[in-house]
Structure 1
Amino acid sequence: MTAGDAGKPSFDPRQCFVRVTQVRADGFIEFEFAVGDPLLSVDLILPAAAYREFCATNGAVQIPSVSR
């Protein structure tokens, strides 16, 4: 760890994050999914019910959406 890393949380592969990027009119939810670090994510899309199940199964923490 360097001096610049002080205050930065350590990587925890047990922690999952989701950030909704769009709720579509057709019922699909577009979101970012990250494991261990919310800055390293993949874009996914699921129907709303499957999204809720995905989040519950992974114990995902919702993080606020950002303006793009």
Structure 2
Amino acid sequence: MLLEQHGYWFLRDSQNRREYWQADVAALRSFYQMTKEQLVPLEEAARKVVTRTAPAPASVPART
């Protein structure tokens, strides 16, 4: 996924599937709006989204 290539980090389960949190959904919506509605190039949109919203792995709370 292009966002991951630019440094966006998604939580993954034991089978390596992405787990989408509200912040991830918001980031994906922002990426979509930039690329489809504002016609921002994919690479530029990915960089903007990652710069604004990428959570660091250490900041995600552990699930119990």
TM-score interval for Structure 1 and Structure 2 normalised by the shorter chain: under 0.3
Q: Which has the larger radius of gyration?
A: 1
Bigger fraction of residues in strand: 1
Structure 2 length normalisation: TM-score? 0.27
Please report the TM-score for the alignment, with normalisation by the length of structure 1.
0.26
Q: Could you say which structure has the greater relative contact order, defined with CA pairs below 8 angstroms and 6 or more residues apart?
A: 2
